Copies of this chain bind each other. A is one copy, B any other.
């Protein structure tokens, strides 16, 4: 399935006009960045890069797409021929997937002919804005959980294809599992889940339902105990499964007090090893509020897949430089109003002091000469090659890329000052410095 029509119409009309003006092949550099973090956040976590590199490889205009574009008169013959021959052959550099980012971090740089690079704008932003919104929210939940495992189970709260992307982004941000089977198949993420309230309601008694589940899925299963009376359900659960019952799940009610009561009851019945998992409209704040309660794991739905109040990361895709007729690089930037930006191709270094991040240093490579200046700072290079002449760097792709991103996220978060993990509203935790 091609990704080529997951594109705003104006990308194609711009190509048409640029072919006419003779500017379509001007070597161009587009940059992806976010002017600010979501309101009150102290850092973001980049996700989607691996998925994007694969989607760019599938960005081809086949017969069916060209016929539709012609029939609808979106563009003319010359542009249709150009699109028929299209595949991205340029270079992409950027932050590693899983990387921490800050306002104006140059997250992705796409270099190619103008038309070749501009046509990817919609796809690039769709993937990165959504996945990064999820990962950035998920990272705060991971911090709030203080080491207790988290499962993503929000597939039903975002569109069916977004659900797979959300599971992947949450996993990269430190979640441990997902309920979504396609995310398990495509991205190798561990899947989890046992039963819903409907399963209990289907049976004539709660005991019948528990017995059916335990006989089928084993005593290590998780029994859902809040369909009727929780106290009665715990008693039934341990009677049916024995004290080796894996876990119980609570999906409603006043969790801090309920969890304590259920823990005490389980212990009194001898089920001291039975874990308690909670799944009731959790977000980073309610997770943090359960820090003092004997919860063993969390399942998070709506809030993680919708970015917990920030459902899009606010990244933009801006032309920052192009070559002129002499082949020299010209930095460009929109001037007007509140959306002014910084011209020129950039690279970035996270400045560290004693292993702790102190600044996001962004250097404009005005000459585009590919020779990084030696920076006289203690820091970690953030800009790495992701795609070269249209070929993606394999370590960022597929199941391996997803795992690598998860590991990279852990390392990048570990560099942050401890205050960055606070959940309260605040400013970006470290400053972005140009030059």
Mark A residues whose CB is within 8 Å of B: 1, 3, 5-14, 16-18, 20-21, 23, 26, 28, 30, 55, 65, 68-69, 72, 74, 114, 118, 121-123, 125-127, 129-131, 153, 155-165, 179-182, 184-185, 191-199, 201-204, 208-209, 211-213, 215-217, 226-230, 251-253, 302, 305-307, 311-312, 314, 317-319, 322, 324, 332-339
Contact = CB atoms under 8 A, between A and B. Distances in A.
Shortest Cβ-Cβ A-B pairs, 4 listed: A10-B193, A161-B161, A21-B212, A125-B156
Copies of this protein in the complex: 2
B18 A156 contact: no
A252 B338 contact: yes
Contacts of A324: 204
A79 to B, nearest CB: 9
Contacts of A13: 193-195, 216-217
Nearest to A48: B159
A192 B21 CA distance: 21
A20 B216 contact: yes
B201 A319 contact: yes
B228 A181 contact: no
Given A13-B217, A68-B185, A311-B311, A28 B197 contact: no
Contacts of A158: 126, 129-130, 159, 162, 311-312
Contact of A157 (B209, B211, B213, B312): B312
B197 A17 contact: no
Contacts of A162: 130, 158-159, 161-162
B125 A16 contact: no
Contact of A159 (B126, B251, B253, B302): B126
A207 to B, nearest CB: 11
A155 B6 contact: yes
Contacts of A16: 216-217
A183 to B, nearest CB: 9
Contact of A230 (B121, B208, B336): B336
A160 B123 CA distance: 6
Given A126-B156, A193-B9, A252 B319 contact: no
23 contacts: A5-B185, A8-B155, A9-B192, A11-B193, A14-B195, A16-B217, A18-B202, A23-B203, A69-B181, A74-B191, A121-B196, A125-B155, A126-B155, A130-B158, A159-B161, A160-B161, A161-B161, A201-B334, A227-B335, A228-B335, A230-B336, A252-B338, A253-B337
A432 B392 CA distance: 55
